[in-house]
Structure 1
Amino acid sequence: MPIQFRYTPEIRSRFPQLRSRTLFVDGIGANVDASIQIARLVTTADDRLAAASEGAFPEIQAWRGAFSTMGLKPTQYRCASEALLRRYRKEGSLPALHPLIDLCNATSLAFAIPVAVFDTSKITGTMTVRLAHGDETYETFAGQIEHPEPGEVIFADDTGRAHARRWTNRQSGWSAVRADTTQVLIVVEALHEFAENDVAALMTSLSKALAAIWRGSGVAEMEPL
């Protein structure tokens, strides 16, 4: 059964410009070749970066504004898409981690929009974007346990486990995609002026790539609650 994904009314009211969509994907495996689809997306990113640095992109500027609203220094805490673009611009490549993660990272590069991916077997109940109480549990990729600051925007499930901190800044190692992952929740979020059209275009591109790479997989698009 697909994982439900929702925003609290407070998040909706504070960020009325937010546009988001989710995908529930079943039938993922690590033994596939996603290089063709990834190369096309990276070429798009190359073209954009040749014209301007990521900091000038409206998608990134909108997230910087949101982070400032949340009391975070935008150049210290960057949204996931800016961090990826920044690393790619400096190093010329991104590390290969897992075909699905590599595809979603390339998609994020091309559209300059954060794309989060969660292993649904690690999520209990509904995934909610909300303000932290401060007692939630967040596990880093190194296995360390942290507790989000009260009022911080997090992705949390029904057990109080935080699957992302500072909204689109940092995902948890707990629900990261692994070699044995078969079902995932993909979340795409944007705040800029043309977010609705760009998120729709991203979802179309990603859905087609998923169907081409993981033939026979189930891909269901869902509207966040």
Structure 2
Amino acid sequence: MTFTLTVSDEVRALAPGFTHVAIEAYDLVNGPSTEASSALLDEAARRLAARLGGRAPHEDPHLSAWREMYTAFGAKPSRTRNSAEALAKRALSDAGLPRINLLVDLYNAVSVARLIPVGGEDIDRVRGGMRLVRATGEEVFVTVAGGAEAIEHPEPGEVVWCDDAGVTCRRWNWRQGPRTRLTEDTVSGIFLLETLAPVPVAEAEDAGAELAELLEKFSPGARVEVHAPATAGTPA
């Protein structure tokens, strides 16, 4: 892996069943949402409804495990939902899934259909690789509030993704900062699919393969590399 990802010992101790699949992609083509990416989101919503069979998203065993993990590091999961649960609720509502841009649509579709938190960062905007750590509370998270730039600090013990410039995503996979998000100008991305037990490693690998195939389909000529799942017992 040319892009560096590390998971701290403190996070591994908190979540021994945590696994993530990383996908590096270069020479991507992004732009506004298309009819094809919109159709993928609609199909993902149908796959979600069939998977849930009338249950609420948080009743799915994987999302239930994420709720327990959020509680373990001090978050309130009913107020700050992980990204997969938040998207699933949108998918099942009258509002439906948002259309953001082509690349975001692709990973959101996989996230909703699989009920796996998936995130994407612009590699060219990340400083010095990314680390999953438990925050001290002094880290800086730059976000937007009321249309203006705002600075927040994570709670001590909160699980965050960060780089050398600050926090890139708060509460593990709850809120991404605008600095590293995928925009229509993005040409290089790192995509993370994050799972907890009881999701088998093979299911995480299958979801990663699905996303990689979509990236190659929508960005012909892109260089896409899927990295083997990193678990609590292996390097990130």
Shorter-chain TM-score bucket reads: over 0.9
- SS class of match (2:74): coil
C-alpha distance in structure 1 between counterparts of 2:30 and 2:212, whole Å: 17
1:189 aligns with 2:194: yes
- SS class of match (1:34): helix
1:151 aligns with 2:157: yes
Q: 1:91 maps to what in 2?
A: 94
Tell whether the 8 Å contact from 1:138 to 1:145 is kept in structure 2 after alignment: yes
Q: 1:10 maps to what in 2?
A: 10
Deviates more, 1:60-69 or 1:85-94: 85-94
Q: 1:176 maps to what in 2?
A: 181
Q: 2:213 maps to what in 1?
A: 208
Tell whether the 8 Å contact from 1:24 to 1:221 is kept in structure 2 after alignment: yes
Mapping for residues 29-44 of structure 1, pairs under 5 Å: 29-31=29-31, 33-44=36-47
Structure 2 unpaired stretches of 5+: 231-235
Tell whether the 8 Å contact from 2:90 to 2:97 is kept in structure 1 after alignment: yes
- Offset of residue 30 of structure 1: 2.4
| Distance of aligned partners of 1:42 and 1:90 in 2 relative to their CA distance in 1, 3 Å threshold | closer
Aligned length: 224
104, 108, 116: which is aligned to 2:107? Answer: 104
Q: 2:24 maps to what in 1?
A: 24
Deviates more, 1:181-190 or 1:51-60: 51-60
- Offset of residue 86 of structure 1: 1.0
C-alpha distance in structure 1 between counterparts of 2:84 and 2:117, whole Å: 5
- Offset of residue 37 of structure 1: 4.0
Q: 2:82 maps to what in 1?
A: 79
Tell whether the 8 Å contact from 2:131 to 2:163 is kept in structure 1 after alignment: yes
- With the length of structure 2 as denominator, give the TM-score of the two structures: 0.88
Letter in 2 for 1:213: F
- Offset of residue 151 of structure 1: 1.8
TM-superposition CA deviations, 1:33-53 (whole Å, max 9, x none)? 434544443331131244422
C-alpha distance in structure 2 between counterparts of 1:2 and 1:43, whole Å: 36
Tell whether the 8 Å contact from 1:134 to 1:149 is kept in structure 2 after alignment: yes
Structure 1 unpaired stretches of 5+: none
- SS class of match (1:144): strand
Deviates more, 1:60-69 or 1:131-140: 131-140
Mapping for residues 113-124 of structure 1, pairs under 5 Å: 113-124=116-127
Q: 1:70 maps to what in 2?
A: 73
Identical-pair percentage: 28
Structural RMSD (CA):
1.8
- Offset of residue 11 of structure 1: 0.8
Letter in 2 for 1:157: D
Letter in 1 for 2:210: S
C-alpha distance in structure 2 between counterparts of 1:110 and 1:129, whole Å: 25
Letter in 1 for 2:136: H
Letter in 2 for 1:79: N
